[in-house]
Structure 1
Amino acid sequence: MDYIQESDFTVLEEGFTARGLIEKIINDASQTEERDAFLVGDMEEVVKKHLHFLKTLPRVKPFYAVKCNNFRPLVKLFAEMGTGFDCASKSEIELIKEIGVNPERIIYANPCKQISSIKFAANNGVQMMTFDNELELIKVSENHPKAKMVLRIATEDSKSFNCMNVKFGAPLNTCRHLLETAKNLNIEVIGVSFHVGSGCINPQVYAQSIEDAHLVFDMASEFRHKMRLLDIGGGFPGTVEAKICFEEVAAAVNSSLDTYFPEGCDVDIIAEPGRYYVASAFTLAVNIIGKRVLQQDPPESHGAGNGPCKSVLYYLNDGIYGTFSHLLFDFGHPKLILHKEPSPEKPLYMSSLWGPTCDAMDRIAELLYLPELCIGDWLLYNNVGAYTIVMSSTFNGFHPPHIHFAMSLKAWENVHLLKRRYDPAENAEKNDFTL
């Protein structure tokens, strides 16, 4: 097993925090000319989120969505804590297999798979995979006849920022035909999955989707499919700034599960959280590498102080083609924090923030009122753990920031308790966890 080792992280001494590590890195870098942008991943935050998930959704086993943030130390942490993994590609399956995870803990949750990838899954013992149409069933029957299929159904996701059902999900009126087709192809269907979309603001969508899944379970019984899995997907909020909180979602899920899939029904419940775990766990530190001051005609109403009328453009050493790539398509806006607390007497100026590339689209933010900053100053961004650096490129020769993974001693101890709790080989009793 290639699970986490102490060398994968900076293990923080008691009383030392991830923010303290950021300050140390900034102080060290400020003594040199190499003031590169960097990220710090606070793994204590991830462990806390995991313990909260287990407590708040006690019947649901998380299968971490690898696509959200796939860096090896983080993925190894999830493996150590006993989660399953939602993989959407051959490469993601390879990563999880390489760190020693049993393929039974993997669901290939992409309803549209290349034939070579289906064969790869078959050859590596990955059996659970999703589908939502007849042609996908035929592909699987020809290339992975021992697969255990999970029917992905469509949901009402119009209230979500990123609607999934424009691309995936079988309407309820097609499910009976798909279940019959699977039976005729001698393909085993073991359950139902759904995804309410990212940024869902209505927890009752989860409840309605669970009710719909129950209807599909009833349909499946007509064709003697042994249904034993319900996958409630992802879409869980990951920051305190989200429009709904995780507890609201959990309450709707738990109530609906009690109604349609009560305890003792012999159905395993899993979910595919990604953003929930990692969004708030990562902080980005960027340096101001350039500055441009523009004089402005006086506006009718300044609205942000009585300072001179000018605007300032700041150029940072990370941008839209790097960690901020999610600003182009995602709703999870990062939270800006000035590294140096400004004096309240300082005037504020209309400001914009730009990335380091030569592309004029590399604009991070505009219409910000900020105190005047200097070249060499640092800015911090919280909530940058989900769908950020995994989407970055090396455009213009700029490389993604280095990531420092930090973990407190208490979190480190809890990870090992989690391993003992969920690893049958450890043969240990359940433990209580605190952070």
Structure 2
Amino acid sequence: MPTTLVAEESQITNLNLMFGASGVKCNELVTTLSSEATTFDIIQSIIKTKTTEIHSPFSVLDLRVVIDLMNKWKTNLPFVKPFYAVKCNPNISFLGALASLGSNFDCASPTEIESVLSLGVSPDRIIYANPCKSEAHIKYAVSVGVNITTFDSVGEVEKIKKWHPKCELILRIKPKEETGARFRLGLKYGAFLNEVPELLKAADMAGLKVTGVAFHIGSMGANTQAYRGAILLAKTVFETASRLGMPKMKILDIGGGFSSGSKFDEASLNINDAIKSYFENEDDLIVIGEPGTYFAETTFTLATKVIGKRVRDELREYWIDDGIYGTLCRTVYDYFIVMCSILRFDSKHKYDTSEHTKTYPSTVFGPTCDSTDTILKEYPLPELEMNDWLVFSNMGAYTTACSTNFNGFSSSAKNIYVSYSS
């Protein structure tokens, strides 16, 4: 069985130092809050105290949530080293926090690698987890010392042999069973089991070392039992390599698709049990995972301002300054549950967050001229006025990372407040 991952107290200390007044490593605004304060409290405080300089929309990155999630990961999956999937949210402050807490990184492009390296992270803490890379990008990996990558085709072997012959390879395989995931990454990547011998032989003949196996069961709604079948399939690939007389594999990459809710507990049980069952005698096994949404989703909260209003009988229509082409891009998917709160700004310049008995069916539009830029339809909201605020929770995963500057409007990515406990 693999070695247990142990959390160090110094990592938390380093995190606080990194975001202290004298040690900020980012261009974003940093604020402290008491351990009892909520993210909603800090948003109210930002709006109240920075009325003349506040740029809306803005997001709050709560480092307390990052710490809690890392602690939970290390408790639930003590044998699995986290390699955060940078594509999920590449915010530099967020990456810095994860690095200080001991995370490694899954990068899919030179830009992502460059961001991680800029934080002082060693290149041996990066896996280039993209099974198909351009030759120029492979050359970049060589130049910065990133020496492990994924592959799933003979063509990729040939490119790596030519441009990065010292690189270690991890074979990406396709899980056999239907996992129920809304985003089935196996449609694009992963070798079938019957393709494995040819790929292993091609890498061996090229003089490249295949050091492990990777898979991804898909994201959003995947059946966590699928981890068991995928880990068993990976074990089959380990055995195939051994029969072919290749060097012993040492890395099992269980991919991503993790959420931070109750399904994470369920997934952890299945993963731990499968590793124990199928890799019990592999004492030097290194298990890694590629969590993205798990760390990013609940860590960011978005604050947007009401910039327009229209009343049509009982219907209320509002415009806010972020939308589906910006941070709120995920709201177009039917699986995404919008968690929206309000901050009302009354004539006495006080913020009112009390419950209101009277609500109206409300439509909330984004700022662009595209009529599909609609965030909420017939959503029950109290009467809102210009310069009131709508606050959206769980806005960290595939939000700003997927946003655009369509129509000249940018997302909250440019305005981030980093909050942590003093």
Q: TM-score range by the shorter chain?
A: 0.7 to 0.9
Contact 2:39 2:301 in 1 (8 A): no
Change (3 A) 1:85 1:100: same
Question: What is the distance in 2 between the residues matched to 1:204 and 1:19?
Answer: 36
Residue deviations 1:202-230, cap 9 Å, x none?
11101110000000000111231320000
Q: TM-score, normalised by structure 2?
A: 0.87
Which has the higher mean CA deviation after the structures are superposed, 14-23 or 174-183? 14-23
Q: How does 1:36-435 map to 2 (within 5 A)?
A: 36-155=56-175, 156-223=177-244, 224-238=246-260, 240=261, 245-262=263-280, 264-295=282-313, 310-328=314-332, 331-339=335-343, 340-341=352-353, 343-346=355-358, 348-401=359-412, 402-409=415-422
In structure 1, stretches of 5+ residues that fail to align are 296-309, 410-435
1:6 and 2:20 equivalent?
yes
Which has the higher mean CA deviation after the structures are superposed, 189-198 or 360-369? 360-369
Residue deviations 1:158-205, cap 9 Å, x none?
400111011001111111111111111111100000011111331110
Change (3 A) 1:256 1:271: same
Contact 1:111 1:168 in 2 (8 A): yes
Change (3 A) 1:177 1:354: same
C-alpha displacement of 1:257? 0.5
Change (3 A) 1:330 1:125: farther
C-alpha displacement of 1:12? 2.6
Which has the higher mean CA deviation after the structures are superposed, 15-24 or 250-259? 15-24
Which has the higher mean CA deviation after the structures are superposed, 398-407 or 12-21? 12-21
Which amino acid counterpart does residue 25 of structure 1 have in structure 2? I
C-alpha displacement of 1:262? 2.2
Which has the higher mean CA deviation after the structures are superposed, 267-276 or 357-366? 357-366
Paired residues, number: 389
In structure 2, stretches of 5+ residues that fail to align are 1-13, 25-29, 344-351
Q: TM-score, normalised by structure 1?
A: 0.85
SS in structure 2 of the partner of residue 78 of structure 1: helix
Cα RMSD for the two superposed structures: 2.1
Question: What is the distance in 2 between the residues matched to 1:362 and 1:270?
Answer: 39
Using the aligned pairs only, state the percent identity: 39
C-alpha displacement of 1:332? 3.9
Contact 1:157 1:165 in 2 (8 A): no
Contact 1:61 1:84 in 2 (8 A): yes
Question: What is the distance in 2 between the residues matched to 1:263 and 1:333?
Answer: 43
Question: What is the distance in 2 between the residues matched to 1:249 and 1:343?
Answer: 37
Question: What is the distance in 1 between the residues matched to 2:60 and 2:95?
Answer: 15
Contact 2:309 2:317 in 1 (8 A): yes
Contact 2:250 2:285 in 1 (8 A): yes
SS in structure 1 of the partner of residue 187 of structure 2: coil
SS in structure 2 of the partner of residue 235 of structure 1: coil
